[in-house]
Structure 1
Amino acid sequence: MTPVTGDRSVISSVSGVLLRSLNPAAVAAGDDLPDALTIAGETLSRSDLLGAATSVAERVAGAERVAVLARPTVTTVLAVTGALLAGVSVVPVPPDSGAAELRHILNDSGAQAWLGDAPEGSELPRIPVRKHARSWHRYAEPDPAGIAFVLYTSGTTGAPKGVLLSRGAIAAGLDALAEAWDWTRKDTLVHGLPLFHVHGLILGLLGPLRVGSRVIHTGKPTPEAYAAAGGTLYFGVPTVWSRIAEDEEAARKLAEARLLVSGSAPLPVPVFRKLHELTGHAPVERYGMSETMITLSTRADGERRPGWVGLPVRGVETRLLDENGAEVPRDGESIGSLQVRGPMLGDGYLNRPDATAESWLADGWFATGDVAVIDADGFHRIVGRESVDLIKSGGYRVGAGEVETALLGHPEVAEVAVVGLPDDDLGQRIVAFVVPRGAAPDEAELVAHVATELSNHKRPREIRFVEALPRNAMGKVQKKQLS
C-alpha cells in the first residue's frame, strides 16, 4: 500500500479540531507545553507532538483504516494522533492478542496496514512512524460523522465485535467529562492503563489532548509509579485502586491530587472508604461502555456515594424498563434494564447489523444489557449484567464465550463453562469448569492454550475439573450453580 500525501494548503479549523490542543495556530502563537506527554520515560512537547503526528498524517493520508499495535509508547501515541489528524480510522489492537483474536480483528476490520509497530509474522503492510520527523502542514478538520476508531470489545458470546466511534461522539463525550470533572489545561493526568480501550485510549490520551492538559502514562499502574508522578487527576480501575489502598505510603502521596477517578468495573465499597481515609478524596466513580463511552458520573463539585456512579453527564438521558417495557420507578430500590441516549454513543457494530439492531433502538436509545436502580435525585447504581456471561476482571471486560471457544479447541477438553467468581484483587477472576475427555490434562497447559489464542488477560486464573456441568431440562448450562 502506498500512502497518499494530504492536501498541504488547507488550514485546520480552530473550533472543530478533535485534537484542539494540538492546533497549529496555538503552537505558532507560543502556546506550547514542554512536557505535554510523558510515556515510557519519553517526553514530548506539544509542538513536537504536533510536528511528529503531522508527519505521520502525511504518510497515512488517503488510507481508510489502519491497525495500531497499542503498546504504551510514543510510537502508539503518534500513530493514533497522526491518523486522526489525517481523518483515517484507527483499529487499536491489544499487544497481547493471540493468533485467533488478531486474525479476527484484522480480517473483520479490513485494516489496510499497520501504522507503527507490527507483530512478528504479520503479512499486512507496515507504515513506519518516525518519532523525530517533523511536518507543519495543516489538514482540514474531517467530518465529525467520520469514524475515528473501530474499537473491539468482547461480547458475551462469540468473537469480539468492532464498535464504530465517530469523531463527533468522542468530542461530545470528552467535553461532557471535562465539565463534570472540572478538567482543565491546568491539570496533569496520570494513569497506566492499556491504550486499546475507551478508558486508557480515549479518556486517558485523547482527553488531555483535547483539554490541553499534561498526561503522564506510567507504563504499569503500580502504587509506586502513581505516587511518584505528582499529578492532579488520576485514572484507575478497581484493581489499581485496591493495590494503592493497600500501600499506605503511596496512597497518602495522592492526597495532593485533585481527583481520583475509578471506572471499567465497580469499585468495592471497602476500597472506596479506605482511599477516602488515606487520601482525603472520595473517588469519582463513572459508568460507560465501549459502545457508549461515559454516560454517568459523579461530579467534582457534587456528592460521591460508594457504590453509586452518579448522574447523567451533559447531553445524556437514561431510563429503566421492566421486562414488559414499562418504566421503573426512580425510588432507589426498583431494578430495571438500563437504557441510555446521548451524543457520545457509537454508530453500531462493524459488519454486524443483527447485533446493532439488538442494542441500538428506536429514537436513539441504547440497551446497555446492565440492570440498575435510580433514586429520586437521579443518582444511578449499577446492579449487574442481565446475563452472567460478561466477566469484569482487573478492569477488563471478558466474554465467557470467547474463553470457552478457545478451551474447546484443546483436544483434551470435552465440555467447558467459564464464569467470573469474586476476587478481592481483580474484582472477578476467570474460572473455567472443564469436563476432560479422559484423564484431566495439565492445568497450566490449558491456561497457556487460551493465552496463545486470546489476549493474555483473558486466560483463566483457575481451572476446576468436573465430571459434568449442571444443565436444565433444555440442556442449557446453569452457570449460577458453578461456584
Structure 2
Amino acid sequence: MTLLLPALQSPTGPAASREAVRFGDLSLTYGRLAGAAAALAARVADAGRVAVWATPTPETVIAVVAALRAGVPAVPLNPRTGERELAHILADSAPTAVLAGPDDVLPPALEKLRRVTVDAREAVEGPEGRVGGAAGPEDPEDPALIVYTSGTTGPPKGAVLPRRAVAASLDALEDAWGWTGDDVLVHALPLFHVHGLILGVLGPLRRGGSLRHLGKFSAEGVARELGSGGTMLFGVPTMYHRLAEALDAPAGTAERDALARALTSARLLVSGSAALPVHDHERIAAATGRRVIERYGMTETLMNTGIRADGVPRPGTVGPPLAGVELRLAEEDGTVLDAAGAIGEIQVRGPNLFTGYLNRPDATAAAHTADGWFRTGDVGTVDTDGYVTIVGRKATDLIKSGGYKIGAGEIENVLLAHPGVREAAVTGEEDADLGERVVAWVVAADPGSPPAAEELADHVAAQLAPHKRPRTVRYLDALPRNDLGKIMKRSLRA
C-alpha cells in the first residue's frame, strides 16, 4: 500500500502505537489496524472483487484497508439500499465475497456470497508491531474502489476509481488545506460514499493522522471530540445547519458555549456534498469567529475545487480548482465560455478522474466531450479570481424563465435569510408564458403562521431581481433528503 497508505505498510516503533481511528470507545492504533488488515487481506486475496457492508464502524475501515492491501477492488454497499437497487449493484459489480461485521444482519440478496467476518474487537486485542509479509506491487491505474452513483437519472452506475485518482485528490487537499499527520479529523459521515470513506477515512490514513468517527452525528459529539484534540471537522450542510441552530441558543448556556469553544478551536471546518446556505455560514461565523470552507467534488471526479486554508473564505463559493485539476464552463452546444460570471456546465479533467463506469462504455463515452473533458452535469460560474460558484444541477437547478438563466441556489439563499423560513428549495416548472416558472418549496419557521407567498416573492425580488421572484410557493413540513442530506428535488417535482 505504499502508493495509497504508506503509514500502514509496516508500522513499527512509535508509529505503530499512534491512534489511527476511533469509533466511540473502540480505538485502533496504526499497528493494530495494519495487522488486522494484513490478516484479512490474506483471506480475500483471490476474491476478484469484494463487497463491503459499509456501516459507520471500524469493521468497514479494516475491510477497505484490507481490500486495498490485497489489490482487490472494494464495492461499498449502503446498508439502507433497497432490495431492487441492491440486486442491481450486485449483478453489475459481481463480487464473490462480502465483508461484514460479526453482528451485521445481511439481506437475502447477499446470502449467495461468501461472508467474511471482520471483527474490530479481535484487532484491539491483537498485538502491535511489524506486519508480516509486504503488500504486493501497485499499479496506479489499478481500481481501488467501485462506488455507485445515486441513480438520479436511471439505475446506479459503478464509478471505477483507480488508486491514481484517490492519491491525486488526497494530495491536492493536502496542498490546499495544509493537511498533516498531526491533524485529527472528526466526522459522522456515512462510509459508503467518497466524502465519508475516501476523504474521511483514507484521507487521515494517507497523511498518517487520526480519525474520530462519531457513529451518529450530534452537536454534543462534535463539541466533545473537537474540544479534546480534534483539529478538523468534515460535514454536510444538514449537519452545519444543526450546529448553527445549536449556536443560536443564548450565550451562557453550557452546551452552546462548549460547542462554540470547540468550533473556534478547530483548525478547519469543511462542508461538502451540497451547497451550504449563506445564512448558516453567517450564523456560525457570528458565534465562533470561524468560517466554514467548502469544496466541490463528485463520485466520478473526487475533488475538483476547494477553498484553501490560507485563502480567502467566500461564503457561497467552493474555491478555485485544486492542484492538477483543469476546469472550464461550456454552453449546451459545447461552446466554451470565457467571460467571468457566465453560467455554464462545469467540465473538468485531471488525474482525479475515474477510469469509467463499470460495464457501461456507452455511458462513459457520453459523460466525456470529444476532447476528453468530463461533463459534471453541474452548472456554475467562475469569477475573475478563479473561484467557482455552483448554481446547481443542470437537470434540476438551472431554470430558464422568460429568456433568463436563473440559478436555484441564489434564490434559496435569499429565502433562507427570511426570518419566517426554516428550510427552502427552488425548482422550475413548465409555464406556457415563461417557459419555466420559479417554484419555491418552503418549510416555515413557525408552521402555524407561515410567511405569505407574496411576502416571500417580494423578498426575493427586492434582494435579487424581479424575474427571479417565485411565481408559486408551496409549504411542506419537511424537505425530502437523502443519506448525505442533499435535497431530492426530483421527489419534490413528483
Same fold (TM over 0.5): yes
Unpaired runs of 5+ in structure 1?
1-11, 393-399, 401-418, 426-449, 465-478
Judge conservation of contact 2:236–2:484 (CA < 8 Å) in 1.
no
Mean Cα deviation higher: 232-241 or 142-151:
142-151
Distance 1:315 1:227, change over 3 A: same
Whichever residue aligns with residue 246 of structure 1, its letter is: E
Distance 1:98 1:146, change over 3 A: same
Classify the secondary structure of the residue corresponding to 1:107. helix
Distance 1:420 1:281 in 2: 31
Whichever residue aligns with residue 77 of structure 2, its letter is: V
Judge conservation of contact 1:339–1:368 (CA < 8 Å) in 2.
yes
The one of 141, 144, 156 equivalent to 2:140 is: 144
2:114 corresponds to 1:125: yes
Judge conservation of contact 1:54–1:85 (CA < 8 Å) in 2.
yes
Whichever residue aligns with residue 208 of structure 2, its letter is: G
- Alignment match, 2:9: 23
The one of 256, 261, 264 equivalent to 2:270 is: 261
2:254 corresponds to 1:246: no
The one of 140, 151, 157 equivalent to 1:155 is: 151
Judge conservation of contact 1:97–1:455 (CA < 8 Å) in 2.
no
2:337 corresponds to 1:338: no
The one of 355, 360, 376 equivalent to 1:347 is: 355
- State the shift of 1:193 in Å: 0.2
Distance 1:185 1:420, change over 3 A: farther
Distance 1:215 1:423, change over 3 A: farther
Unpaired runs of 5+ in structure 2?
248-255, 399-407, 410-426, 428-438, 446-479
- State the shift of 1:336 in Å: 1.0
- Alignment match, 2:315: 306
Structure 2 counterparts to residues 74-473 of structure 1, below 5 A: 74-117=58-101, 119-121=106-108, 122-123=110-111, 124-131=113-120, 132=122, 136-230=132-226, 231-248=230-247, 249=256, 250-331=259-340, 333-388=341-396, 421=441
Classify the secondary structure of the residue corresponding to 1:63. coil
- Alignment match, 2:47: 63
- State the shift of 1:365 in Å: 1.1
Superposition TM-score, scaled by structure 2 size: 0.75
Task: Describe the superposition over 1:251-300 as per-residue Cα deviations: whole angstroms up to 9, x where unpaired.
Answer: 44211100000000000001011111122211110101100001101100
Classify the secondary structure of the residue corresponding to 1:50. helix
Distance 1:367 1:46, change over 3 A: same
- State the shift of 1:29 in Å: 4.4
Classify the secondary structure of the residue corresponding to 1:261. strand
Whichever residue aligns with residue 314 of structure 2, its letter is: R
Classify the secondary structure of the residue corresponding to 1:260. strand
- Alignment match, 2:449: none
- Alignment match, 2:434: none
Distance 2:268 2:487 in 1: 33
Distance 2:339 2:297 in 1: 20
- State the shift of 1:462 in Å: 12
Whichever residue aligns with residue 136 of structure 1, its letter is: G
Distance 1:363 1:424, change over 3 A: farther
- Alignment match, 1:443: none
Distance 2:175 2:487 in 1: 38
Distance 1:424 1:102, change over 3 A: farther
- Alignment match, 1:413: none
Judge conservation of contact 2:396–2:489 (CA < 8 Å) in 1.
no
Judge conservation of contact 1:252–1:278 (CA < 8 Å) in 2.
no
Distance 1:320 1:455 in 2: 29
Whichever residue aligns with residue 341 of structure 1, its letter is: R
Distance 2:22 2:368 in 1: 38
Cα root mean square deviation, aligned = 2.9
Distance 2:378 2:491 in 1: 27
Judge conservation of contact 1:341–1:364 (CA < 8 Å) in 2.
yes
Mean Cα deviation higher: 132-141 or 36-45:
132-141
- State the shift of 1:60 in Å: 0.7
Judge conservation of contact 1:223–1:251 (CA < 8 Å) in 2.
no
Distance 1:310 1:455 in 2: 25
Task: Describe the superposition over 1:97-134 as per-residue Cα deviations: whole angstroms up to 9, x where unpaired.
Answer: 11111111111111111012461433221112243256
Distance 1:61 1:244, change over 3 A: same
Distance 1:358 1:113 in 2: 32
Distance 1:69 1:275 in 2: 35
Distance 1:207 1:462, change over 3 A: closer
Runs of 4+ in 1 over 4 A off after TM superposition: 389-392, 419-425, 454-464
Distance 1:110 1:388, change over 3 A: same
Distance 1:58 1:460, change over 3 A: same
- State the shift of 1:385 in Å: 1.3
Whichever residue aligns with residue 57 of structure 2, its letter is: T
Distance 1:202 1:72, change over 3 A: same
Distance 1:169 1:39 in 2: 27
Distance 2:187 2:84 in 1: 30
Classify the secondary structure of the residue corresponding to 1:36. strand
Classify the secondary structure of the residue corresponding to 1:343. coil
Distance 2:221 2:96 in 1: 37
- Alignment match, 1:474: none
Classify the secondary structure of the residue corresponding to 1:382. strand
- Alignment match, 1:416: none
